[in-house]
Amino acid sequence: VIHSYTKDLTGSGNATAGVVIGRNRDMFIPKGETFEGKNWDETLFWDAYYIKGAFLDSDKAFEVISGMKTLELRMLRKCINTRILAEFLDRHPLIDVRCSAVETDPNHGLARELLAYGLPAPLFTISMEQAGISREAFIRFFDSLSPMFNHQVSLGQSNTTILCPALTSHSELDAASLDQAGIHATTIRIAVGDENPRELIGHFVCAARLALDGDVPGFSDMFPSAEEVDELSRSEYLLAHRRVIDSAEPASSFMT
């Protein structure tokens, strides 16, 4: 198993770290010894860590260990927030949402079958190509989403971060290459944090009203109402926490 500790594990994004998990005989054999035909210098510890210096310093290791203590709480909230945000945006007729949380997504059925509590990963994309938004208006909109939606390339932080591939990571590609990759000029990747989803939605709507309504009249009026947002947030939080409670180990398993 190879996993990035930089993402959700620490939560803060302050530690750049990773981990490799494997069988003991592949990871470490005492110097000068062999085990089942494998020499000590063929293990990951001696061949990679010791020679190349890929050790995690103590401060970053402390941040990783500290982050583990709140991982479950943070991930649950982020995944619920993702359901709320994705569903809210999907109700706008001119926004295309790619997230397993929405019923129209091709991975929705698989997600319900495999993912814990039916919750999606806190990362999804949206596109507003069908709205016919000009490049200038979209850039104004994208810029105005900050600081509530931080502009960052990374993901898995406690705060919600966004990235427009066509303006940043994939800006060197031509139109044909972007289309082949499924990336549009208005594609936004959203890495959801653990903030109040109502605040995130409110900022998104206000940014759209200020930056997009002049280009596409009435665009912001197509979002669900504030009352619908309250009901969506309430129902999703209750549903998710009910599933968590119902799937919890009974007290008897800890008392015998």
Each residue's pLDDT tens digit, 194-229: 999 999 999 999 999 999 999 999 999 999 999 999
Reply yes or no on whether the pLDDT at 53 is more than 70: no
Average pLDDT, integer, range 22-31: 86
Give the separation between CA 98 and CA 125, rounded to whole angstroms.
5
Residue-averaged pLDDT of the chain: 91
Question: Contact 159/185 with Cβ under 8 angstroms?
Answer: no
Average pLDDT, integer, range 246-252: 93
Tell me, what's the pLDDT at 72? Answer: 93
Give the separation between CA 129 and CA 48, rounded to whole angstroms.
46
As annotated, the residues of the chain forming the CATH 3.90.1150.10 domain(s) are: 71-246
Give the separation between CA 143 and CA 207, rounded to whole angstroms.
9
Reply yes or no on whether the pLDDT at 54 is more than 80: no
Comparing CA positions, the residue from 25, 55, 45 lying closest to residue 37 is: 25
Average pLDDT, integer, range 83-109: 96
In this predicted model, which residue has the larger pLDDT, 128 or 179? Answer: 128
Peptide bond into 147 cis (omega under 30): yes
Reply yes or no on whether the pLDDT at 46 is more than 70: yes
Among 56-70, 71-85, 103-117, the range with the most confident prediction by mean pLDDT is: 71-85
Architecture of the CATH domain 71-246: Alpha-Beta Complex (3.90)
Write out the two tokens for 59.
Answer: 């401060």
Tell me, what's the pLDDT at 227? Answer: 98
Q: Read out DSSP for 183-208?
A: --TT-EEEE--SS-HHHHHHHHHHHH
Percent of the chain exceeding pLDDT 70 equals: 98
pLDDT in tens, 102-131: 999 999 999 988 988 989 999 999 999 999
Can you give the pTM of this predicted structure?
A: 0.88
